[in-house]
Structure 1
Amino acid sequence: MTEHDLPGADDRATRRGREHDPAAHRGPAGTAAGAPAAARLRADWPHLLRRLGKHALLITAGLVMIYPLLWMVASSFKPTALIFRDPSLIPSQLDLGNYTAGWNALAHPFTHYLMNSLVVVAGAVLGNLVSCSMAAYAFARLNFRGRKLWFAVMLMSIMLPIHVVIVPQYVLFSQLDWINTYLPLVVPKLLATDAFFIFLMVQFFRGVPRDLTEAAHIDGAGHARIFLQVMLPLSMPALATTAIFTFIWTWNDFFSQLIFLTDPNMYTVPVALRTFVDSTSDSSWGSLMAMSVVSLIPIFLIFLFGQRYLVRGIATTGLK
């Protein structure tokens, strides 16, 4: 019996023939097997164009928003006479002297004002972390009379602009002889005055399962131990978010620091930058741009290394 006499031999021969015949892969109309892929590609063109249009729009909007920052960086390398005459982002003349001149242009080297800002920022960050976390734990986990009322009052305080409370604050701090000290900028942070961070931590604490705190309470832990050993370790994203926002807002705070600090030796970075601009004489625009770039470096670094904590702190529900 030969191979052709076996059952199914004709079918096997036909399949082998198709494997060696390129024409067998073509459809009845002679089209290649890749035709369906090409048809799908043509069908996806509108969707692809819409995506490209959205990305182009986002890139354009991003460039428009970042242009002032790029212009400031470019202006810090230009001579003062060309800053407003040459709006291009590529300086035609480089002047690195703006940084050395700006660093030593004021009564103290610019390091002095950077250290003053760091002192204020460190006190504000520490104060908000301690006071806001304690207040948030009380609103989220403790049952006391008038809790909902005080929580509503706390939320309404977010709508109060700083200009409403700055006058009574100045009168109070003046009577306490705190003007020209850093106490008006740090002590309120120790009293949980930033309602936004309290609300942020309350929402985070409410997302922590009560089974954890109840188990700790059954084991004999009090509220202080539960707060320190259970809630705080789980709330690191919220604490990091509070620290980063407090750092950025305090570092950039010009109005409050201008009101309470009138001694040039106590000036922080925002107030020191203001002294480069004089309404009665020539302004050192080149030095101002250079020191503005220097003042943005700490904020850029904090945001760069803390971005993931910002996302986790805002988006997480507290479930671990």
Structure 2
Amino acid sequence: MLNIVGTLISTTLVAYGFAKYDARLKGFWFALLMSTMMVPYFVTIIPLYNIYAKLKLINTIVPLVLPNMLAGSAFSIFLLHQFFKTFPKEIEEASRIDGCSELNILFKIVMPNSKAILFVAGIFMFVWTWNDYFGPVIFLNDQSKYTLAVGLVFLNSSISGYKDALDQGPVMAMSLLTVLPIIILYVCFQKYFIKGIVNSGLKG
């Protein structure tokens, strides 16, 4: 939940700024931001671990939450940026004439009309956080804090030596529990997901 809320707040501010305001070298900075999607997570894990170790934040949820709250996701920024570019300027200009501040325009006018695309960004972050295995393994030492993805791998490795197919029952059951929330979420909110993708400008 912290990852989703933090990502939505940080990515919304960044995406709206890039979409609606002119600045020197804006195109360069946006291209640089998008290029970070090509940098593998494994490349940054060593310096990140060293930083969190010096701050004594290892074995806490801070390393798993803080990056999303401060920087968000480059893909989510791109997704929201594409939508904000299509948001009618006339509505924003009318709000400014009425004395509305820039933050009020964003949070009280733009975001209430962007629920579908915000939902899509939240879904992507939920799936990424829910399935994340590498982050919890690196930053968490206490097994009681492990996520389901990590627990599934540990359970599978603990019984991998058994040849009987029936011994794989616990792994299959835990795999179902891992996948089930994502399936339920998609089935229940499928129309909002599709609407958000279409409105984002990523349609074919």
TM-score (norm 1): 0.59
- Structure 1 unpaired stretches of 5+: 1-121
2:176 corresponds in structure 1 to 293
1:308 corresponds in structure 2 to 191
Report the structure, 1 or 2, having the larger helix content: 2
For 1:252-291, list aligned pairs within 5 A. 252-278=131-157, 282=161, 285-291=168-174
Distance apart, 1:151 and its partner CA:
0.6
Distance apart, 1:250 and its partner CA:
0.8
Q: Which moved more, 1:143-152 or 1:286-295?
A: 143-152
The residue type equivalent to 2:196 in the other structure is: G
- Structure 2 unpaired stretches of 5+: none
For 1:79-158, list aligned pairs within 5 A. 122-158=1-37
The residue type equivalent to 2:132 in the other structure is: D
Q: Check 1:193–1:164 CA distance in 2 against 1; reply closer, same or farther (3 A cut).
A: farther
Give the 3-state SS of the residue equivalent to 1:277 in structure 2: helix
Distance apart, 1:164 and its partner CA:
1.1
2:58 corresponds in structure 1 to 179
Give the 3-state SS of the residue equivalent to 2:57 in structure 1: coil
1:238 corresponds in structure 2 to 117
TM-score (norm 2): 0.91
Please say if residues 8 and 72 of structure 2, whose CA atoms lie closer than 8 Å, have aligned partners that are also in contact: no
Instruction: Measure, in 1, the Cα distance between the counterparts of 2:158 and 2:170.
Output: 16
Q: Check 1:305–1:280 CA distance in 2 against 1; reply closer, same or farther (3 A cut).
A: closer
1:218 corresponds in structure 2 to 97
2:130 corresponds in structure 1 to 251
RMSD: 1.7
Please say if residues 157 and 195 of structure 1, whose CA atoms lie closer than 8 Å, have aligned partners that are also in contact: yes
User: Which is bigger in relative contact order (C-alpha 8 A, separation at least 6)?
Assistant: 2
Percentage identity across aligned positions? 39
Question: Which has the greater radius of gyration?
Answer: 1
Q: Deviations over 1:123-172 (max 9, x none)?
A: 11111111101111111112233322211111101111111111111111
Deviating beyond 6 angstroms after TM superposition, the runs of 4 or more aligned structure 1 residues are: none
Please say if residues 244 and 306 of structure 1, whose CA atoms lie closer than 8 Å, have aligned partners that are also in contact: no
Q: Check 1:183–1:136 CA distance in 2 against 1; reply closer, same or farther (3 A cut).
A: same
Q: Deviations over 1:230-264 (max 9, x none)?
A: 11011111100011111111101111111111211
Number of paired residues?
Answer: 197
Instruction: Measure, in 2, the Cα distance between the counterparts of 1:172 and 1:275.
Output: 27
Distance apart, 1:282 and its partner CA:
3.8
2:42 to 130, 153, 163: 163
Q: Check 1:167–1:317 CA distance in 2 against 1; reply closer, same or farther (3 A cut).
A: closer
Q: Check 1:238–1:281 CA distance in 2 against 1; reply closer, same or farther (3 A cut).
A: closer
Distance apart, 1:281 and its partner CA:
7.2
For 1:70-85, list aligned pairs within 5 A. none
Please say if residues 6 and 72 of structure 2, whose CA atoms lie closer than 8 Å, have aligned partners that are also in contact: no
The residue type equivalent to 1:302 in the other structure is: L
Matched, 1:197 2:80: no
Give the 3-state SS of the residue equivalent to 1:251 in structure 2: helix
